[in-house]
Amino acid sequence: MAVLITSGLARTFRTKRGPVEAVRGIDLTVEAGEILGFLGPNGAGKTTTLRMLTTLLPPTGGTATVAGHDLTHDPAGVRRRIGYVAQTGGVDPTVSVREELVTQGRLYRLTRQRATARAAELAGDLDLTALMDRPCGALSGGQRRRLDIALGLVHRPGILFLDEPTTGLDPGSRAELWDLVRRLRDEHGTTVFLTTHYLDEADALADRLVIVDQGRIAAEGTSAALKARYGGSPEATLQDTFIAITGHGTPRRDTAPLTV
pLDDT at 253: 35
Q: How many CB atoms lie within 10 A of CB 241?
A: 24
Per DSSP, helices labelled H in 45-128 are: 46-53, 75-81, 97-107, 112-125
In a domain, 117, yes or no: no
In a domain, 173, yes or no: yes
Q: Tell me which amino acid residue 156 is.
A: R
In a domain, 145, yes or no: no
- The span from the CA of 146 to the CA of 156, in Å, is 15
CB 84 within 8 A of CB 57: no
In a domain, 121, yes or no: no
**What's the CATH code of the domain at 27?**
3.40.50.300
- The span from the CA of 216 to the CA of 46, in Å, is 9
Nearest Cα to Cα of residue 177 among 222, 208, 144: 144
pLDDT at 233: 87
In a domain, 205, yes or no: yes
SS3 167: coil
In a domain, 53, yes or no: yes
- The span from the CA of 260 to the CA of 256, in Å, is 12
pLDDT at 6: 98
| Count: domains in the chain | 1
pLDDT tens, the chain, 260 aa long: 999 999 999 999 999 999 999 999 999 999 999 999 999 998 899 999 999 999 999 999 999 999 999 999 999 999 999 999 998 778 899 999 999 999 999 999 999 999 999 999 999 988 999 999 999 999 998 899 999 999 999 999 999 999 998 888 888 888 888 999 999 999 999 999 999 989 999 999 999 999 999 999 999 999 999 999 999 888 899 999 999 999 854 333 334 444 43
Q: Which domain holds residue 19?
A: 2-91+159-259
In a domain, 51, yes or no: yes
pLDDT at 106: 96
pLDDT at 248: 58
In a domain, 147, yes or no: no
pLDDT at 28: 97
CB 151 within 8 A of CB 97: no
- The span from the CA of 38 to the CA of 197, in Å, is 9
